[in-house]
Amino acid sequence: MGDQTTTPPASGEQTTTPPATTTPPATTTPPATTTPPATTTTPPAGEETAIPVAAGEQTTTPPATTTPPATTTPPTTTTPPAEINVEDYAQGVTIDAEIAKNVEVDQGAMNAVAPILKDAGVSVEMASKLVNALARYQIEQFKERQQQRFADNKAMRDAAVQKYSKTDFEQINAGIDAAFKKDGVMNYVIRHSEIGNDPEFLELMKWYGQHHPTNMQPDASGAVSGTTGQSAGFSGIAQAWN
């Protein structure tokens, strides 16, 4: 099946064998068009992705913006300092109220150092700062000394209270009033300073309070002749010491 039958030619005829029919080749299905893979280029880390430029256009990098130079401030005209007189220091230097209230600077001391301050070019304002710094230091030192003085005085007073009885203090006060005028300066100083608590002074005043003549009365001539309660009298005691 599939073979063709060839009829033999008649006698005397030339037989021509017809060419075999060529079966056309089977139609070849063209290969499927392969879509080329999209070219995706991942930019390396830290680099920006370049933006594609349209055909025919040229990419031009804009010039960097130039920062204009800073405006130069014209130099300030310096006003020469006013002439300082020697007496300006004594008048202008003051003590700050926060350091000491109602305290005035010794003008005599300022006048003594004013020529040196002027020669050194020290202004009145700077001189005032120097004086205040010195005043602050002196006041702090004074406070420390006063605290120590108070502590020492209190220690002597506490010791006296422990040592002397009420009767002893009556004799001590009597001795002070006999030796110093009750309304006098020394009586006041003794009772308002360390002297009144000093152990040696208290012992002396106690002895004097025990032995001094009391109720002294002047005689007709105005001289001291004796005391009530002590037969020897003042003169007798004085002679006895000799």
Instruction: Name the residue with tokens 């005391």.
Output: 227
Question: Cα angle vertex 156, ends 151, 158, to 5°?
Answer: 90
Q: How confident is the model at residue 109 (pLDDT cuts 50, 70, 90)?
A: very high
Counting beta carbons within 10 angstroms of the beta carbon of residue 89, is it exposed (0 to 12), middle (13 to 18) or buried (19 or more)?
Answer: buried
pLDDT score recorded for residue 84 = 85
Q: What is the DSSP letter of 61?
A: P
Q: Going by C-beta distance under 8 Å and a sequence separation of 6 or more, which residues neighbour residue 122?
A: 130
The answer on pLDDT for 142 being more than 60 is yes
Task: Tell me the pLDDT tens digit for each residue of 181-190.
Answer: 988 999 999 9
pLDDT score recorded for residue 212 = 80
pLDDT score recorded for residue 86 = 87
- Is residue 224 within 8 A of residue 234, CB to CB? The reply is yes
Comparing 1-10, 155-164, 184-193, 206-215, which segment has the lowest mean pLDDT?
A: 1-10
Separation between Cα atoms, residue 45 and residue 88, nearest integer Å: 75
Beta bridge mates, 108: none
pLDDT score recorded for residue 148 = 93
Task: Tell me the pLDDT tens digit for each residue of 114-123.
Answer: 999 999 999 9
Question: Cα angle vertex 104, ends 102, 109, to 5°?
Answer: 165
pLDDT score recorded for residue 33 = 53
Separation between Cα atoms, residue 180 and residue 208, nearest integer Å: 12
Task: Tell me the pLDDT tens digit for each residue of 53-95.
Answer: 344 445 555 556 666 666 666 666 666 556 888 889 999 999 9
pLDDT score recorded for residue 62 = 56
The answer on pLDDT for 2 being more than 60 is no
Comparing 39-43, 116-120, 222-226, which segment has the lowest mean pLDDT?
A: 222-226
Task: Tell me the pLDDT tens digit for each residue of 18-31.
Answer: 555 555 555 555 55
Q: Single out the residue of 6, 10, 41, 38 nearest to residue 21, CA to CA.
A: 6
Element (H, E) at 169: helix 166-179
pLDDT score recorded for residue 232 = 37
Q: Going by C-beta distance under 8 Å and a sequence separation of 6 or more, which residues neighbour residue 219?
A: 225
pLDDT score recorded for residue 141 = 95
Confirm whether pTM is higher than 0.75: no
Separation between Cα atoms, residue 11 and residue 76, nearest integer Å: 141
- Is residue 171 within 8 A of residue 210, CB to CB? The reply is yes
Which two tokens mark 180? Answer: 């110093």
Looking at per-residue pLDDT, the higher value among 164 and 44 belongs to: 164
Give CA torsion, residues 234, 236, 239, 240, to 10 deg. Answer: -110
Task: Tell me the pLDDT tens digit for each residue of 159-176.
Answer: 999 999 999 999 999 999
How many H helices and E strands in the chain? 7, 2
State the average pLDDT for the chain: 72
